[in-house]
C-alpha cells in the first residue's frame, strides 16, 4: 500500500490547487511588485473583511519607500552576502530533507544505479532553486504555487501509472526516475 501513501501527497496538492484560485493575491505583492493600489485594498478587504486598512496600507507604503533604493540580488551575489547565511542554511536543510525523503527508492531500481539517482535528485533541487529564485519576482508566489501544485498533481499521477506498469515494462522504471526529478523541480518552483 506504499503507492497509496505516495499518492496521498498528490491528493493534498490537488485540494490546495482547487482552493487556491479563490484566495486573493498577497496585498504587499500587489502594491510592491505590481504597483496596484486598488487591487491591494481590495485584497485586504477580501482577506480581513470590511474595515479601514489605512494603517496596514501605510506600513506597506513605508516598506516600499525603504526598499526603493535596495538592489535585487542574483543568486551569486546572495551567496557572497554573509547576512544571508542563516537563510541559506535553512534552505539547505530543507533541500537535504527532500534528498533524504526516499523518493528515489520508489522507482525500484538496481542498487548500483541509486547513487546516480541521488545525484540527479540533488541536481534537480539545484535547478529548481536557481530557476525559482529567478522567476518569483516576475510571476509572484500565487502563480508559482498554483502552477507548482498543478504540475505536482500531474506528475504524481504519471508516477503512479509508471510504477504500476514498471513490472511489465522495465524501461518504465527509468521513466519513474525522470518523473521523480520533475516532481522535485515542480516542488521547488511552487510549494
Write the CA distances from 158 to 8, 25, 76, 104, 165, integer angstroms: 14, 30, 35, 15, 11
Model confidence pLDDT, tens digit, residues 59-112: 888 877 777 766 666 777 777 888 878 877 877 776 666 656 555 555 556 667
Model confidence pLDDT, tens digit, residues 109-141: 666 777 777 777 777 777 777 777 677 767 777
b/e string for 23-62 if b means 16 or more Cβ within 10 A? Answer: eebbbebbbbbeebeebbbebbeeeeeeeebeebbeebee
Mean pLDDT of 18-40: 82
Measured at the CA of 115, the angle between CA 176 and CA 134, to 5 degrees, comes to 70
pLDDT of res. 62? 82
Is the pLDDT confidence value at 57 over 70?
yes
* Domain boundaries along the sequence of the chain: 1-72, 77-190
pLDDT of res. 103? 56
Is the pLDDT confidence value at 185 over 60?
yes
* Residue in the structure block whose three cell numbers are 485540494: 15
Q: 24 near 47, Cβ under 8 Å?
A: yes
Q: Give burial (CB, 10 Å; 0-12/13-18/19+) of 102.
A: exposed
Using a pLDDT cut of 90, give the percent of the chain over it.
Answer: 0
Ranges assigned E (strand) in the chain:
none
CA distance 158 to 153: 9
Quote the pTM value.
0.50
The least confident of 3-12, 15-24, 41-50, 162-171 is 3-12
Model confidence pLDDT, tens digit, residues 158-180: 988 888 888 888 788 788 888 88
CA distance 128 to 186: 7
Amino acid at each position: 500500500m506504499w503507492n497509496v501513501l505516495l499518492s496521498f501527497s498528490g491528493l493534498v496538492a490537488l485540494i490546495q490547487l482547487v482552493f487556491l484560485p479563490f484566495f486573493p493575491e498577497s496585498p504587499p505583492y500587489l502594491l510592491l511588485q505590481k504597483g496596484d493600489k486598488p487591487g491591494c485594498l481590495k485584497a485586504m478587504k477580501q482577506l480581513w473583511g470590511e474595515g479601514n486598512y489605512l494603517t496596514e496600507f501605510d506600513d506597506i507604503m513605508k516598506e516600499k519607500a525603504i526598499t526603493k533604493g535596495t538592489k535585487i540580488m542574483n543568486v551569486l551575489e546572495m551567496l557572497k552576502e554573509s547576512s544571508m547565511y542563516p537563510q541559506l542554511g535553512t534552505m539547505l536543510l530543507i533541500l537535504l530533507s527532500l534528498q533524504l525523503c526516499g523518493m528515489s527508492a520508489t522507482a525500484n531500481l538496481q542498487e548500483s544505479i541509486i547513487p546516480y539517482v541521488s545525484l540527479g535528485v540533488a541536481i534537480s533541487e539545484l535547478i529548481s532553486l536557481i530557476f525559482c529564485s529567478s522567476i518569483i519576482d516576475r510571476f509572484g508566489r500565487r502563480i508559482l504555487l498554483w502552477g507548482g501544485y498543478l504540475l505536482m498533481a500531474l506528475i504524481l499521477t504519471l508516477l503512479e501509472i509508471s510504477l504500476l506498469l514498471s513490472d511489465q515494462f522495465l524501461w518504465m522504471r527509468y521513466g519513474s526516475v525522470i518523473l521523480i526529478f520533475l516532481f522535485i523541480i515542480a516542488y521547488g518552483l511552487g510549494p
